[in-house]
Every structure is written in structure tokens, then in C-alpha cells.
């Protein structure tokens, strides 16, 4: 691959449980390359089971980066990831013109390929106040506040996601300007060309794969892993599917059977949001999840010739 005239990043995206890890390993092996994970749930070392971290066998099949490299007690946001991931990709490109980026966190993939919009620093007390308001009053008052301050964001962000609503509000309050006014959609110049590959399947297949994965997580010890995280349940990293439902069970708010059914339901909803995000990107070439890897390699080779 040393004869290539420029560097490339191959991104593997798609809904959870679709097979991104397996494909990324096969591509990395074929191109003697390495994998940068863009799965924001797999950064944290205490959350191996509930985030479906690649197995030791998978991790040893190809070099991986940004897998379980942080503690839930450490702050690590998408801006930090953009900085660190680009630095790592530049380092890897010194050895090989191809790097594989895999993950279902759309914003984190975008941070690598397109860069993020700039947001000014605001007083951290604003977020603390908004989080407290969310805990005491719920999401609806925050949604109404955002509707008044920034109707564009109200109509475009994931309005049912508390993190997204609070993030938009803290920028509105902290700067006196709408959150949407900082969204330029201008791409940063990258020192590589991106080849974007998406994996997909019929909805029933995706849902069945999710249900099977959740059952396997329970068998593999998710309850014990989540119980160990209960003292840290208010940390941002743990406000995620697979943990928050079990926290409710541990605190007597639901039965275990209901908690597991909620994990499956919320993971299916998450997969739907993932597809909605990725389908907005017309530069992604989609393949059925059962497509032979040789066909995908042939496609990639056509892009780098």
C-alpha cells in the first residue's frame, strides 16, 4: 500500500449489532492496517459487557485504539476525541496510508471525517443548574425553554435526548446567542480522503440481532457489571442504554424482566436514531450486512486506485 499517492480513512458505520467490528477487523487485516474506534460507549474500561467491547480474540486480530482507554470518572467529550483521534490517525498514516475507523456514534465519526463546529466555553455552573432542573422538573420545561431561545435547534436536534437539550441550552444561556448560530456545517480540511461504508439489514433482522445481543450480555454478567457502577450512576458516561434500566431495577423501580425488556426496546430505538443520522450522509455507500468481504474490498480498491 506504500505506493498510494495519498492517505485514506475507511469508515465503517451502521446500527448497533450489525457487524461493524467483524468487518473492520477483516479490512484492517487485508490492508495491514489499524482500527480507530469511534464508539463513544466503548471508551470506558468499566463498561465492557454493556457496550459490547470487542473480545480479546477480536482485539488481538488487529490493533485497536480508543477501546477502554478511559475511566467513567474521567471527562472525555467529542472535542477531546477529535483532537486525540486525528493525532493518532496522523501517527498511523506514517506507517500505512490506510486507517480503518469503525463505530456507531455518528457525531464521533463526523468529528474524524468532517471536524466539529466551534462552540465557545461557557460557565460550567450553567450545565449544573440545568441538570438539577432536569432531575427535579423533567425534560418538558427544558424543551420549552429551548423552543423560546432557539426554535431552530428545537426543531432539528434530538429533542427527546436530555443531553442534547441541555447542551443546546447551556450555549444559548452562556453566550446569549442561539446554539444553532454556531452550526456552520463547514468541513475542516483533512490530510486524508475518506471512504465511507455503511452496513444495514432489514429492520426485523436488526431488532433480532439486538435482542440476541442483550440476552448474551445478561448471560455474560451485565447485572454484576452494572451493579458495580451503581455508585457512579449520575456520571455522564453511565446515562446510557443497558445501565440506566438496570439502575432502576436495583433501586426497586422495576422488575428484572421489565428492565431487560426496556434495554432491548431502548437499544432498538437507539439503532433507529443511528440509521436516521447516517442516512443524512449521501457519501456513505451501503452494503447488506451479509455482503461478502471481498466485494467490499473490491469497492474500496476502486476508490483508492
All domains in the chain, ordered by first residue: 8-116+186-304 (3.40.50.300), 138-182 (no CATH)
Average pLDDT of the residues of the chain: 93
Q: What is the pLDDT of residue 3?
A: 72
Say what percent of the chain tops pLDDT 90: 79
Q: What is the pLDDT of residue 5?
A: 85
More confident residue, 106 or 205: 205
DSSP state letter for 70: B
| Distance (Å, whole) CA 185 – CA 168 | 16
Q: What is the pLDDT of residue 185?
A: 64
Q: What is the pLDDT of residue 294?
A: 97
The whole model's pTM is what? Answer: 0.84
Sheet holding 8-13, edge to edge: 64-65, 35-37, 98-102, 8-13, 193-200, 284-288
For 293, the grid coordinates are: 468481504
Which has the minimum average pLDDT: 34-38, 135-139, 235-239?
235-239
Mean pLDDT calculated for residue range 149-168: 88
Residue 261: count other Cβ atoms within 10 Å of its Cβ: 15
Mean pLDDT calculated for residue range 59-64: 96
Amino acid at each position: 500500500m506504500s505506493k498510494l499517492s495519498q492517505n485514506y480513512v475507511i469508515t465503517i458505520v451502521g446500527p448497533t449489532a450489525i457487524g461493524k467490528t467483524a468487518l473492520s477487523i477483516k479490512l484492517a487485516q487485508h490492508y495491514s492496517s489499524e482500527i480507530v474506534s469511534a464508539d463513544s460507549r466503548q471508551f470506558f474500561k468499566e463498561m465492557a459487557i454493556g457496550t459490547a467491547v470487542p473480545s480479546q480474540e477480536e482485539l488481538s486480530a488487529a490493533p485497536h485504539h480508543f477501546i477502554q482507554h478511559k475511566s467513567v470518572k474521567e471527562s472525555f467529550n467529542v472535542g477531546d476525541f477529535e483532537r486525540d483521534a486525528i493525532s493518532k490517525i496522523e501517527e498511523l498514516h506514517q506507517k500505512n496510508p490506510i486507517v480503518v475507523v469503525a463505530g456507531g456514534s455518528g457525531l464521533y465519526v463526523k468529528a474524524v471525517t468532517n471536524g466539529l463546529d466551534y462552540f465557545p466555553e461557557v460557565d460550567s455552573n450553567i450545565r449544573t443548574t440545568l441538570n438539577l432542573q432536569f432531575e427535579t422538573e423533567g425534560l418538558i420545561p427544558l424543551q420549552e425553554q429551548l423552543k423560546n431561545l432557539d426554535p431552530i435547534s428545537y426543531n432539528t436536534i434530538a429533542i427527546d435526548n436530555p443531553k442534547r437539550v441541555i447542551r443546546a441550552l447551556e450555549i444559548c444561556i452562556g453566550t446569549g446567542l442561539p446554539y444553532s448560530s454556531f452550526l456552520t456545517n463547514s468541513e475542516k480540511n483533512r490530510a486524508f480522503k475518506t471512504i465511507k461504508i455503511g452496513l444495514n439489514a432489514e429492520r426485523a433482522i436488526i431488532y433480532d440481532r439486538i435482542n440476541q445481543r442483550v440476552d448474551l450480555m445478561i448471560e455474560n454478567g451485565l447485572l454484576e457489571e452494572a451493579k458495580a457502577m451503581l455508585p457512579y450512576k449520575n456520571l455522564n458516561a453511565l446515562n446510557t442504554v443497558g445501565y440506566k434500566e438496570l439502575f432502576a431495577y436495583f433501586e426497586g423501580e422495576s422488575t428484572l424482566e421489565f428492565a431487560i425488556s426496556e434495554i432491548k426496546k431502548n437499544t432498538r430505538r437507539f439503532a433507529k436514531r443511528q440509521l436516521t443520522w447516517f442516512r443524512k450522509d449521501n457519501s456513505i455507500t451501503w452494503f447488506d450486512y451479509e455482503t461478502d468481504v471481498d466485494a467490499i474490498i473490491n469497492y474500496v480498491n476502486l476508490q483508492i486506485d
